[in-house]
Amino acid sequence: MQEIEILSWITLDALKEASTRVIDSIGNLDTNEQMSLFCVIEEDYLELHYSELEANYLRRFDDEDELFKHIAKRREELGEEEAEALEYFEDDDAFSRDEEEDDFNGYNIRTEEDDDTF
């Protein structure tokens, strides 16, 4: 692992834009005052660390395994839990339009011909 101090967020943003894949983002500059973005540029695995209190830095990892170990360590440091993928659409059958009827009981739906007076 290699680390270089970066003085400007503009430099970190330029590296982020050049990334071919963003793997993870940990932290929040608004609440934690620091954020780490883990990404890949060509064959390099990188951590772009933004901080309002400490030095900003770029960290390069030797391989993907080392990167993922560091992601777990960074999550622990910042007290974040790993985001879980939510299964929003697993029960799509429960929302089938064929089986249910729209019930607008008690509501008056106006048409374009209705007068717009209040």
pLDDT at 78: 76
Q: What is the dihedral of CA 63, 3, 37, 17, to 10 degrees?
A: -90
pLDDT at 28: 85
Closest CA to 55 of 8, 115, 104, 117: 8
Distances, alpha carbon 14 to alpha carbons 17, 43, 60, 99, in Å: 5, 17, 16, 52
Are 16 and 31 spatial neighbours (Cβ–Cβ below 8 Å)? no
Q: How far apart are CA 25 and CA 80, in angstroms?
A: 11
Distances, alpha carbon 92 to alpha carbons 84, 101, 102, in Å: 20, 17, 17
Higher pLDDT, 47 or 117: 47
Token pair belonging to 67: 């990167």
Binned at pLDDT 50, 70 and 90, residue 84 comes out as very low
Higher pLDDT, 116 or 74: 74
**Which residue type does 43 have?**
E
* 102 has a pLDDT exceeding 50: yes
Residues facing 35 on adjacent strands? 27, 50
Q: Match 């777990």 to its residue by tokens.
A: 72
